[in-house]
Amino acid sequence: MMQANKYRNNGTVQVTSSYDLGMTRSQSERTMTFSENLKKFRKARGLTQPQVWGPSSIAKSSYTSYEAGSQMPSADKVVELAKVLGVTTDELLLAEEEMTVSEDLRPILKRFDSLPPEIRNQARIALKGVLFGFEQEALR
């Protein structure tokens, strides 16, 4: 059965895929992916832990638990960390293989991106409707 993205009431991000493509990850795997990505981007930018937790307004103990993989930050903290590190929230939350676009979709997405903004929004709405129809059909 398909699942939509879920967010716990306490604000902690829990990412699940709408489609089971063999890439479904457990919460502990998500936490470790986040931990690894956080460390990777911090080190790639030559930053120390305090240089990240300070501007992010995150307590030292919380930040070190994120990097250790023992705790997942709330959604607002993920946004703040992404801003400080100069990356997207997807880059922090997702594993590398989850961020790739299949070769058959690449030219379609390029065409979509080349649309004027007002038409792109209409196309996005139409595409969501088409996908929703296919998802509903798959549930039957």
Report the range of poorest mean pLDDT among 4-13, 20-29, 54-63: 4-13
Domains of the chain by start residue, with CATH:
6-99 (1.10.260.40), 106-139 (no CATH)
- 60-68 vs 49-56: helix axis angle to the nearest 10? 120
To the question of pTM greater than 0.85 for the whole model, the response is no
* pLDDT tens digits, one per residue of 76-108: 999 999 999 999 999 999 988 888 878 888 898
pLDDT in tens, 41-54: 999 999 999 999 99
Provide the percentage of residues in the chain whose pLDDT is more than 90.
56
End-to-end CA distance of the chain: 10
Separation of alpha carbons 91 and 32, rounded Å: 13
